[in-house]
Structure 1
């Protein structure tokens, strides 16, 4: 079925998106270096301008070809699919405006970057009559349903609430291609042994490859865009290790790389290889897709629609094979949609304005028609694909990761209803289980996890020490764009271009204002096969991703110098003396213990300390705490002496006396078999010495009984910027966490003592029986 593809045959190249790319040509050109092709083009401005659409298309194609690897662009081929970049598009548009005398809407260029389409735009702007029929699309065999002529109307700003008429006509034609698929029998319902996988070099595809290898015995054929098998294998390995995934010789033994291209007829394979592979493979998993929220339907359809239909054709070739299609929750991205259940109606395609949304919708609807031909098709719909909960690996081009980055970096969020996102490791694991379970084939699954509501996100980030301000959508967008511009962070270019595009903004609006996705079938399947249920993708699940984003400069974690999030006073009194001598000199401390964030507790179990120490034996004036930390259950409470003493708390302070001298202070609380639990929890064994010297003083200090409740429970202070409800939640969270850690520290010695006692009681009975 080569008619499923256009015939330009040029491989798509990855786009290079630079920081600050918006949709104002004049502003963008001011930031860009001049193109070597521009002077020659601009020198010809004075020549006669074209008189018709065909002439304009020729001028546009010639100008565009100067930016492409091949040097040529057919009139009906997409500029981006042929290798053009977003920066190229900006300078190209400036040249065309000078040469054709028309101001091009850059958003319109991203929507459809074919010379013939831009020529029609020029014709509408200049009043040149449009031909009755458009220039034919270059395909091996024209589609059965011809694409009607674009409507003749004056050029105007695009309606970003509706799909483009040309796109709708192309969608109708592409859906008709599914009717050409052959009729097939039902595949054998057995776990797959040989799987064809596309998209393995991508974020979700790489994780899915590893889960298929871990949780099945299958051999996986990975379609990789490469010149040969060796370079494809290297590209696959580089992608996997880049996502912190293992790539061992044992895994490589079960993977065969197929150099090819999802956008080419028969995946870029020879006829012989196509048929041989169709006879070997017993399952098809399609993850590969072009993901770009600015490019239009015409630009993305070869990979996302025609590539999907090619996989359907492959699944129907030779013995029947199930096709597992990674779709997207984007098929519901209609502003105002009321339900997103697994069997609910999809969006109205004429109300999808993003090319990505349109292609995912068209691919899924086309595969529904393929089901009528007997093909067993499973649609797996992730929402936002979040970072890995264990490694923190994330996709910087994913909208969810981009939103998370700016939320954490700028501490503002737009007022949204739900975030339908889940971690990549959960999505991948469930998808792999569906692929390997024949009873699960042929249904639709929403792999969207537990939807997060605005209040949950605000509270979750507040507990992490990040006070979040909520803004209205337009205010948030303008403010965030200004901050990205001022920050000059190249890694946030992705979000800058999304927030600058009217088309992409509609996608964001639909994403943030849509309902919660429901996933009853997915939940039932996970329970039936013993998989973990979906968990909220909250601060704890995102912890490693936050850290990775901070390392990349995309977000900012709470730091020691930040305004405290929670604090309380601690007073201790006692005595010290020279090491080896009685502790007879009074010693007291007035400290403030504080948290910059709950992140400290989750990651480090550490509390910040400030205050002063009064100890005449050390210095007649108080010593100031320059830096101080308290570790709760240091070393995970591992015992330090015959398993009888378990560390509860460790104090490490750096002190400065009134004369400028530096001192160190170490204090320890231990849990051991002792019925006076109050003493264990409040008494600190201390050592004090000059910086760089051994301990000079040792003794004990303790928290007075009458000050503990007053200071450390009733006296807890919380960041006043939080609401009263959030302040109460912060206090309760701290007390519950600290109480649990102390319980964990106090129990082991008693557990061991009880075990020893039972052994002693059993010994005589054993002797009598012997």
Structure 2
């Protein structure tokens, strides 16, 4: 196993993926701008960047070593350390996506080396870029010293790819070599089938990993060892606490009491831990949970393998060393991400590796297949495959660098959605809870689970967004991509710059095509486990969860929800007339209201049961000129539909208006519609009891206003207006939805008092005297 460690050390030394390494689960992109400087072990001697006065050699024939050195010198300007080894990955060293664009331009302008941007993302080592350039020119290639002294972990002959292959041949060769590393893992016995008491968790600072940490603490008695990339324990603890708080998770003394923070790195041999710490963990842990991963759809297999493949194998080595313990590995539904794949069940064949186009998908496939080989050595491996990981269904916390969050933001901003078959996504709280349940239940160990929730169809998403007040137009993928890119170019959004780069990447576009055309994920084993353990069943990631996530996006400036000042979603007029007078007196002054009732979204109705109000109130007893509604709200069934006792009035609607007069005076009006049994239902639904007073003072006038019978249907049903941006079909649907919802709510309110009256009439015992009752 020492030989495997040494080989993995050399490979890990050539790559140092930064912040995104611990963003386990979800589908997202690396925020390279936030990368911290790290020291890379085991790399070839770096080349210092040239001084400003020095220019690279003029374009012309050169051998591989010379050209790689020149490329490294140019690339070194864009990484934090200021230098880059010949065989070190540009992104691992801290280069950003923006830096990659600048690097491509600099290489062509200074060295005459034309490199496609996608090639940089696929393999950003200077030696690889130089080799590909020389190969394109037909020049002879001599292997440089750096490659001669650092061979791949396992030698593998080049593979022959079929004509329809979408993967690079050199990536397939490397994948075969990496899979063979699993054969070097030690054999191990079966672990004790008991809930874990000491757990190692990687990726605890990431979106899914942070939620899994809290669920492990809430739903087990385990003490959790959190591997966090940092220079020392103090920095690691600080980083973990900040991550939890950023996702609205608690960072309390109880949490700190039950965790041990270990500064380390999944890319390094023995996780960057000392030999003593590694030995202690190997003999004291009883479960290993692998969540950490580098998540970036633009980077290639060579750039991501150290974190996603070699890191998983290092954790498998830990699980198989010392005390036998299970390995729970967060994989991804991306292992099926092949265009045309017929099904995505938990035991279905994975995609053909040569037809996966994204490096991220390839690394998740390679890691899962390598760990399947580890099962042949006795290691108990549980593969947990999330799909899209959405925001928390209650807190709205979301991953700001998640691709799905970026797409949702674009959907809401541009009011357009690309056509797709299914969206396999679930809220992070459900994914985390089910994953932790599998970890804590020995009978669930050793199987594969799809943690994808209930798939959404295109119709589901369009309806849910309309429900949240975000009416969208469906476009085909090419049209949507072109439109989104044009909008982002015309009005750049810094937070969505990564989405713009994804939409311009040919590789990422192929990935999107596979995702959009893929089948629904099937999760029979997961559903059985959820039912057996009494967990909340998988629910479709519907409007409520989407709107909560969208609210969080809006808070961060990534999106915008409908506001009261926006053009409303649906509105109608309400005119009432009547009279008011002094409190406890007889109404003797005319009073009328000309209002416009509106809603910003159907979500507003369901979550708040509230309608917005604008308009005027005319009441000479208050002011000789009409008063303007500065703010107005109507609550529907404010008492939750619970009837008052025996014949008392039951509240159907409550009006609350803030009024201003022409002289700057401020007033208030509060109105109530009531239902009472055995009364004129038609009039009750139109009559409004009102109280009026000056701001900060009690009511001075009271009375009743009524919607005229001849205008009720004309204004409040036939006169409903809907956002003109909607299609005719959407307008009809919006109007019918409002009427059905409002009618149902009012019906519930009226049902209580009338049911109470009916019970009183039928309960003859209430009218009997004691003598009659015993007769």
In the alignment, which residue of structure 2 is the partner of 1:113?
124
Partner of 1:263: 267
Q: 1:300-319, aligned counterparts within 5 Å?
A: 300-319=304-323
Matching residue of 1:143: 153
Counterpart of 2:679? 676
Q: Residue 119 of structure 1: CA displacement?
A: 1.0
* SS in structure 1 of the partner of residue 261 of structure 2: strand
Counterpart contact for 1:651–1:665, Cα < 8 Å = no
What is the deviation of 1:459?
1.7
Query: Is 1:12 the counterpart of 2:17 in the alignment?
Result: yes
1:138, CA displacement in angstroms?
6.0
Structure 2 counterpart of 1:517, from 508, 518, 521: 521
- Pairing partner for 2:540 from 532, 536, 541: 536
Q: For each residue in 1:648-705, what CA deviation from the matched residue of structure 2 results, as whole angstroms up to 9, or x when unmatched?
A: 4222335566x66656341322657754373654432213346677644321113345
> Please, which moves more after superposition, 180-189 or 562-571?
562-571
Conserved in 2, the CA contact under 8 Å of 1:290 and 1:300? yes
Do the aligned residues in 1 keep the contact of 2:309 with 2:367 (CA within 8 Å)? yes
d(CA) in 2 for partners of 1:296, 1:733: 48
2:133: which partner in 1? 122
CA distance in 2, matches of 1:340, 1:66: 44
Match of 1:601 in 2: 605
Residue 415 of structure 2 is aligned to residue 411 of structure 1: yes
Q: Quick check: 720-729 or 455-464, which moved more? A: 720-729
Q: How far 1:735 sits from its partner (Å)?
A: 3.5
Do 1:685 and 1:701's aligned partners in 2 also have CA atoms closer than 8 Å? yes
343, 352, 361: which one aligns with 2:347: 343
Kindly provide the CA deviation profile for residues 36-82 of structure 1, in whole angstroms up to 9, marking residues without a partner as x.
x9884674245585621121112222333344444443322212112
Deviation at 1:287, TM superposition (A): 0.4
The alignment status of 1:492 with 2:493, answered yes or no, reads no
Contact 2:49 2:76 in 1 (8 A): no
Matches within 5 A, 1:313-712: 313-615=317-619, 617-618=621-622, 625=629, 627-634=631-638, 647-655=651-659, 664-669=667-672, 674-676=677-679, 678=681, 681-689=685-693, 695-705=699-709, 707-712=711-716
The answer (yes or no) to whether the contact 1:614–1:623 under 8 Å persists in 2 is yes
Q: Give the C-alpha shift of residue 492 in structure 1.
A: 1.2
Deviations 1:375-430 (A, max 9, x none): 11111111111000111100011111111111011111111111111100010011
Deviation string 1:213-249 (CA, Å, 9 cap, x unpaired) is 1111111111111122222111111100000001111
Distance 1:744 1:208, change over 3 A: farther
Q: Is the 8 A contact 1:41 1:63 kept in 2?
A: no
Partner residue of 1:213 out of 204, 213, 217:
217
User: Matched residues in 2 for 1:725 and 1:95: separation?
Assistant: 53
Given that 2:466 and 2:472 are in contact with CA atoms closer than 8 Å, whether structure 1 keeps it comes out as yes
- 1:26 aligns with none
| Residue in structure 2 matched with residue 246 of structure 1 by the alignment | 250
1:263 Cα offset (Å): 0.6
Provide the C-alpha distance between the structure 1 equivalents of 2:294 and 2:444, rounded to a whole number of angstroms: 27
Deviation of 1:352 (Å):
1.2
Q: Using the TM superposition, give the Cα deviation of residue 304 of structure 1 relative to its aligned residue in structure 2, in angstroms.
A: 0.2
Quote the Cα distance in structure 2 between the aligned partners of 1:539 and 1:330: 25
In the TM superposition, what is the alpha-carbon distance from 1:169 to its structure 2 partner? Answer: 0.7
- Measure, in 2, the Cα distance between the counterparts of 1:446 and 1:643: 55
**Of residues 151, 172, 177 in structure 2, which corresponds to 1:173?**
177
Q: Deviation at 1:212? A: 0.9
3-state DSSP class of the match of 1:540?
helix
Q: Aligned-residue CA RMSD in angstroms? A: 3.5
Summarize the Cα distance change of 1:97–1:9 in structure 2 as closer, same or farther, 3 Å threshold. Answer: closer
Counterpart Cα distance in 1 of 2:261 and 2:192: 25
CA 1:718 to 1:84, structure 2 compared with 1: closer, same or farther past 3 Å?
closer
CA–CA distance in structure 1, aligned partners of residues 56 and 604 of structure 2: 63
Distance 1:469 1:18 in 2: 34
Unmatched 5+ residue regions in structure 2? 20-29, 35-47
C-alpha distance 366-700 of structure 1, shift in aligned 2 (>3 A): same
Deviation larger for 278-287 or 632-641: 632-641
Post-superposition CA distance 1:724-755 (Å, at most 9, x none): 55445434432343345446656788999999
CA distance in 2, matches of 1:181, 1:127: 41
Of 73, 76, 99, which residue of structure 1 is paired with 2:87? 76
Matched, 1:101 2:105: no
Distance in 2 separating the partners of 1:744 and 1:378: 49
Distance in 1 (alpha carbons) for counterparts of 2:52 and 2:337? 41
Instruction: Report deviation, 1:131.
Output: 3.8
Q: Secondary structure at the match of 2:543?
A: coil
| C-alpha distance in structure 2 between counterparts of 1:541 and 1:187, whole Å | 38
**In structure 2, what is the Cα distance between the partners aligned to 1:240 and 1:510?**
33
Distance 1:246-1:638 versus aligned 2 partners, 3 A rule: farther
Q: Secondary structure at the match of 2:482?
A: helix
Identify the range of structure 1 (491-500 vs 3-12) with the bigger mean alpha-carbon deviation.
3-12
> In the alignment, what sits opposite 2:37?
none
Aligned equivalents of 2:636 and 2:543: distance in 1? 21
Kept in 1: contact 2:197–2:286 (CA 8 A):
yes
d(CA) in 1 for partners of 2:433, 2:12: 37
- In 2, Cα distance between equivalents of 1:168 and 1:614: 79
Residues 1:228 and 2:219 aligned together: no
Paired residues of 2:201 and 2:225 also in contact (CA < 8 A): yes
Between the two proteins, the alignment pairs up a number of residues equal to 739
Q: Verify: 1:735 aligned to 2:739, yes or no.
A: yes
The answer for the alignment partner of 1:277 in structure 2 is 281
Match of 2:574, SS state, is strand
CA–CA separation in structure 1 for the residues paired with 2:594 and 2:426:
45
Q: 1:9/1:134 Cα in 2 relative to 1: closer, same or farther (>3 Å)?
A: closer
1:132-154 CA deviation, whole Å, 9 max, x = no partner? 89963765x85333464999xxx
Cα–Cα, structure 1 residues 591 and 99, in superposed 2: closer, same or farther, change >3 Å? closer
Change in Cα spacing, 1:541 to 1:48, as seen in structure 2 (3 Å) is closer
2:45 match: none
Q: Give the whole-Å Cα distance in 1 for the aligned partners of 2:393 and 2:59.
A: 61
For residue 31 of structure 1, what is the aligned residue in structure 2? none
Contact 1:9 1:264 (8 Å CA) reproduced: no
1:455 shift after superposition: 1.5
Q: Distance in 2 between matches of 1:685 and 1:161?
A: 74
Quote how far apart the aligned CAs of 1:549 are: 0.8
Q: Summarize the Cα distance change of 1:7–1:318 in structure 2 as closer, same or farther, 3 Å threshold.
A: same
Query: Are 1:62 and 2:73 matched, yes or no?
Result: yes
2:49 and 2:77 in contact (8 A); partners too: no
Q: Check conservation: 1:7, 1:138, Cα contact below 8 A.
A: no
SS at match of 2:350: coil
Deviates more, 1:432-441 or 1:725-734: 725-734
